[in-house]
Amino acid sequence: MSWNVYIRGYQNYLQIEKSLSKNTVDGYCRDIKKLNNFFNGNDDKKKIEDVNYQDFQNYLSYLNDLKINARSQSRVISSMRSFFKFLILEKIIKENPTELLENPKTGKKLPEFLTIEEIELLVNQIDRSKKEGERNLAIIEVLYGCGLRVTELIELKISEIYWEEGFIRIIGKGNKERLVPLGKIASKHLKIYLNEIRVHQKVKDLFVDHVFINKNGSKISRVMIFKIVKKLTEKAGIQKNISPHSLRHSFATHLVEGGADLRSVQEMLGHQSITTTEIYTHLDKNYLKQAILDHHPLEKIKMDW
């Protein structure tokens, strides 16, 4: 069978058996299609059963020549490992040629984030005299106040807001559910938007439960969220490369700097591994030192002396 047949099978496997999000599935399959093009874009056709370790090394050298950075190469290697594990499960191949591949070394890049003062400056640029102003304010406050991903924000449902308990229910990456605290400020502006603006909008049947709606009655798009944040950043004169994801980074950074427990931050962000959350400890050089002073038994003994 052709590569395309296997790729379609792999796509179904990721969607149905692994329950991965559409964006993740699309990313994995896109990487494998590019691999297919590399092997079969010339006269020398490469059957999937014949691909070996050296072929992958050649492909990675090709990516190097294209100046693809180490982080992107690591993602490609992850996609290839996943695809060939699927082929093993389906008994299409007997040995996995990706097992010996090593990820390129990547330095931990600190994410771009805003200070509390810059968050306030951003919010102050919103024109609340316009209908979309209240919506945009609620968007910024929820992104920052709850640390949501953009996809999680646009898929947020009215039925998943628990006002009395002060939580929102989020379906994150890998279809994993988590409850995120809804702070007083975010809650206040959500209520204003829902009760004073959205209630008067005509909403298409498919999106009646979605919180954030565009002027056409459909759920707001990712592109629109990016445009809103970009425009506010420019108006505020903030000289940083800010995106909606920067508000999520700001949420985590300010929690860690304020002394929040790293495990709690991990739960609120929906990180599968604590190592993903640990990057935020680098933003506050005193975090680890203070953790030792506060919790290590020998330090406590010294304090008692």
For the annotated catalytic residues, the residue numbers are 149, 173, 245, 248, 271, 280
Rounded to whole angstroms, how far apart are CA atoms 43 and 31?
Answer: 21
Task: Tell me the residue type at 227.
Answer: K
Rounded to whole angstroms, how far apart are CA atoms 243 and 225?
Answer: 9
| Spatial CA neighbour of 221 closest among 150, 160, 171, 156 | 150
Rounded to whole angstroms, how far apart are CA atoms 42 and 264?
Answer: 52
User: How many other CB atoms are found less than 10 A from the CB of residue 197?
Assistant: 17
Number of helices followed by number of strands (H, E) in the chain: 14, 3
Rounded to whole angstroms, how far apart are CA atoms 175 and 295?
Answer: 35
User: Cα 150 from chain centroid?
Assistant: 8
> Mutual orientation of helices 53-65 and 70-89 as an angle, nearest 10°?
150
Residue 170's φ and ψ, nearest 5 degrees, are -120, 135
Residue 91's φ and ψ, nearest 5 degrees, are 60, 30
Rounded to whole angstroms, how far apart are CA atoms 199 and 193?
Answer: 8
Residue 160's φ and ψ, nearest 5 degrees, are -105, 10
Q: Which two tokens stand for residue 15?
A: 């969607």
Query: 283 to each of 7, 204, 261, 270, how far by Cα in Å?
Result: 40, 43, 15, 19
219 membership: H or E segment, kind and range: none
